[in-house]
Amino acid sequence: MARARLVRPVPEKPGPGQESVWDYPRPPRLEEFRGSITVELGGVDIAATQRGWRVLETSHPPTYYLPADSFRPGVLRATAGSSWCEWKGRASYFDLVSGRTVAPRAAWTYAAPTRGFEPIAGAVAVMAAA
């Protein structure tokens, strides 16, 4: 019987002005974010803001949370089911809808996040895609 071998990732050294996900903390850190964030779906801008929050956790890309009112009306369609994060609590999900384009369960929110993450209550994160 063959045994699986665990291969640990080797962090790359970040270049000037870059961050490394390996330098992010565990448990994760919540930071206020000031800057331009735009979300596009099906070639249409569905959300835009100049303020939000980002969650930084070891070995994970930053997750940006936008105020719910940053999304165009009708874009967020609540969907069934939830998940549990050991750091932030219970998440509920949205389908993102833009015209005929639907991205199932591509956004989520924490209605009542755990202690330390209260600022993101009701804010919405989106699964990034290239």
69-89 confidence digits (pLDDT tens): 999 999 999 999 999 999 999
> For the whole model, what pTM was predicted?
0.89
What's the pLDDT band for 9 if we cut at 50, 70, 90?
confident
- Cβ atoms 93, 82 nearer than 8 A: yes
What is the percent of the chain with per-residue pLDDT over 90, rounded to a whole number? 87
**Domains present along the chain, CATH in parentheses:** 23-126 (2.170.150.40)
How many angstroms separate the CA atoms of 65 and 58, rounded?
A: 18
pLDDT tens digits, one per residue of 106-122: 999 999 999 999 999 99
What's the pLDDT band for 1 if we cut at 50, 70, 90?
low
How many angstroms separate the CA atoms of 19 and 21, rounded?
A: 7
Say whether pLDDT at 130 is over 60: no
